[in-house]
Amino acid sequence: EVQLQASGGGLVQAGGSLRLSCAASGFTFDDYTIGWFRQAPGKEREGVSCISSSDGNTYYAASVKGRFTISSDNAKNTVYLQMNSLKPEDSAVYYCAAGWGATRYMCIYGIPDMHRWGKGTQVTVSS
């Protein structure tokens, strides 16, 4: 079965850290752009960070730049999102997704083009 599995969410205090994992099964990340997206209640889904599995190129939304780090372990078919200095406004359901396209484009405009989505993982940051 082809699927993406996101994990690692939880409840953390402001200033804390979490590491999210996105593991693929049934397909490999080769040539895919893998992205992390988030959706808070009442808000649209937005791109957080994306990485190209072929060349390692990354993109970060301005709101997370300098605090979040995306990385890929192609041997494990897993992408990670290290989230540091978390803020209450980072609270959301985080989803990982895979598609084909440039990292910046896929993060900003590529939600319709991501053709594989994992179930989300909840991140809650308390103040």
Residue 34: per-residue pLDDT? 95
Rounded-to-5 percentages of helix, strand, coil across the chain: 10, 50, 40
Residue 28: per-residue pLDDT? 83
Cα–Cα distance measured from residue 70 to residue 8, given in angstroms and rounded to the nearest whole number: 14
Residue 95: per-residue pLDDT? 97
Tens of pLDDT, residue by residue over 52-78, are 998 999 999 999 999 999 999 988 999
Tens of pLDDT, residue by residue over 11-55, are 999 999 999 999 998 888 888 999 999 999 999 999 999 999 989
Residue 31: per-residue pLDDT? 83
Cα–Cα distance measured from residue 54 to residue 13, given in angstroms and rounded to the nearest whole number: 35
Distances from the Cα of 17 to the Cα of 22, 26, 75, 79, angstroms: 17, 30, 25, 17
- Which residues, listed in sequence order, are joined to residue 49 by a DSSP beta bridge? 36, 60
Residue 85: per-residue pLDDT? 98
